[in-house]
Amino acid sequence: MSDKKVRVRFAPSPTGGLHLGGVRTVLFNYLFAKKHKGDFVLRIEDTDQSRYVDGAEEYILDCLKWCGLIPDESPVVDGHYAPYRQSERKSLYREYAEKLVREGHAYYAFDTPEELDKNRKEIPNFQYGHFYRDSLRNSLSLKQHEVDQLLDAGEPHVIRIKMPEDETISFNDMIRGYVSFETNQVDDKVLLKADGMPTYHLAVVVDDYLMKITHAFRGEEWLPSAPVHLLLWEYLGWKADMPQWAHLPLILKPDGHGKLSKRDGARLGFPVYAMNWFDAKTGELTPGFRELGFLPEAFLNLLAMLGWNDGTDNEIFTLDELISKFSIERVNKGGAKFDFEKAKWFNAEWIKRTSAESLKDKVKAVLEDKGVDVKDDSYLLKIIDVIKERCTLLADFYQQAAYFFEVPKEYDINSVKPKWSDTKTDFFNTLIAVLKNETAIDAVVFEQQFKALMEEKGLKAGDVMLPFRIMLVGGKFGPHVFDIAALLGKDETINRIEQALAVFNG
RNA sequence: GGCCCGUUCGUCUAGGGGUUAGGACGUUAGAUUUUCAUUCUAGAAACAGGGGUUCGAUUCCCCUACGGGCUACCA
């Protein structure tokens, strides 16, 4: 590694929701940058106008914000390398493409998409490369004056790289080590499209160079086009400044085969996007981890463990810990199948480890969203402490906390009714009397009183504990009953016993 | 089809020439909690196959198989 300041970039194209694999790429970029006190740049690769989706860029920014992976430079945070949207850099690329043409490393091609499609269909293994390019319409096969004529006439054309023959292109990938390709096998990729926009191939190289990117992380699906990029760095005369490449393993479908896609999420019932994504065209809402009730800390944590570990048995890491422990050498080569069960475990762990105070706002939002009015924050805090260990997702806080704010709407009557008796009614009426003599409920004292009364009436814990829980909670869940009673307070506890009694005896 | 990349329990993975191949999720059984969850204990569960190299390979090399990616004027 040189002594240059580390600069990495995440370069998504704004075509829709942000996939969890994308977030992992961001994360590894970010961890590497911060570990080396470098810069993390967000660059929007919007060179395909036909795929541009309104709102996708803001969405990406929001996702990064939610995750806490804030770019040092982006379309909204200026560094010294603006603009950060490739569509706004359009005029820049042509000059480099023309330079390549002048120097014999690229050429104009006038073939229409239809002609090429036809060739691909009719000729087995057709490639726009050294074998066929002489028989196609381009500045290599046509006479100079014909080319000039076409150009002057404004004939639509693209600029293609001219892949050399019989060369071996190799490089040292930070994750995979030595990787090599035969140039005869790779085709003459389009560099500049007919609409004047660069393709990804030209744009990454030009922008990585101009933005002084030192390390380039991307998914493994880019590996096959690496030789094109390597050659471009060389032909443009920038080889000494080429970033070090790292091709990350893919995140795979949990079942079956292939890359994880948003369709898999819908099919298997879990989110694939970081946050909800609403497609205005189709009206389709693709769910996100955030809205499902994941904590960003847990989301990042689980993503980090998909392909990386620190060599110990530890699996729970804060962002700061990840930054200090991250090393690219410990990133795996093989793809990882996504396991939603384990993802939920990470979230449950994070909820347990997060203080009630830090959880407060998010829990409050969940409750208020369900119509629960939270007036007293300190009351909420006590509730969170007593229920958080039984919540896996933030949404679970509703079921676990709702009864602290409102009388149960329904009782799990079937768990009570079959064994209900007058003795039990008597027990609870006496319990109300006991309670009325107290000024407040103390969980420990109340439990003693409850049990003493129980014995006095000749009842066993199994006879009244569950009914009591159902009186207060409505169902068979929640923390210790006496803690619930204490939190509810004397008056409300009495109130709930009375109300439930009416129902049970009704 | 061609090219490239990969392969340790069901899943995520540690390990690495000589180990009882370790951990986690999930799962099974028990304990605790007369709710549910948590927690705890125990169990089942893996080096794709074949050749080398070696005194010895799961570990190094080769081949095969399997899996994945790419093969657009998409990224």
Active site residue A451: no
> Which residue gives the smallest C-alpha to C1' distance to B3?
A185
CA A126 to C1' B71, whole Å: 10
> What's the CA A392/C1' B28 distance, rounded, in angstroms?
23
Q: What pLDDT was estimated at residue A2?
A: 54
As a rounded value in angstroms, the CA-to-C1' distance for A263 and B66 is 25
Q: What is the DSSP track for A442-453? A: -HHHHHHHHHHH
pLDDT of amino acid A255: 87
Rounded CA gap, A278 and A287, in Å? 9
Which residue carries 């009325």 as its tokens? Answer: A436
Q: Which two tokens stand for residue A462?
A: 């199994």
- The protein residue nearest nucleotide B14, judged by CA to C1', is A311
Residues A76 and A163: their CA atoms lie apart, in Å, by: 38
- Cβ-contact A435, A494 below 8 angstroms: yes
Burial of A30 (0-12, 13-18, 19+ CB in 10 A): buried
Residue A124: its pLDDT value, please? 86
Per-residue model confidence (pLDDT) at position A68: 98
The answer, yes or no, to whether ipTM is higher than 0.85 is yes
Shortest CA distance to A56 belongs to which of A376, A301, A278? Answer: A278
Q: Which tokens hold the place of A91?
A: 């005029």
Model pLDDT, residue A479: 96
Q: Which residue is nearest to nucleotide B22 (CA to C1')?
A: A313
Positions of strand B less than 7 angstroms from a protein CB: 1-8, 10-15, 22-26, 33-38, 67-75
In angstroms, how far is B46 C1' from A254 CA? Answer: 18
Given a cut of 50, the residues of chain A with pLDDT beneath it are: 1
pLDDT at A354: 97
Task: Report CA dihedral (A449, A454, A460, A463) to the nearest 10 degrees.
Answer: -100
Burial of A337 (0-12, 13-18, 19+ CB in 10 A): middle
Rounded Cα–Cα distance for residues A119 and A113 (Å): 10
DSSP single-letter state for residue A236: T
Please give the nucleotide, over all strands, whose C1' is closest to the CA of residue A182. B3
C1' of nucleotide B73: residue with nearest CA: A193
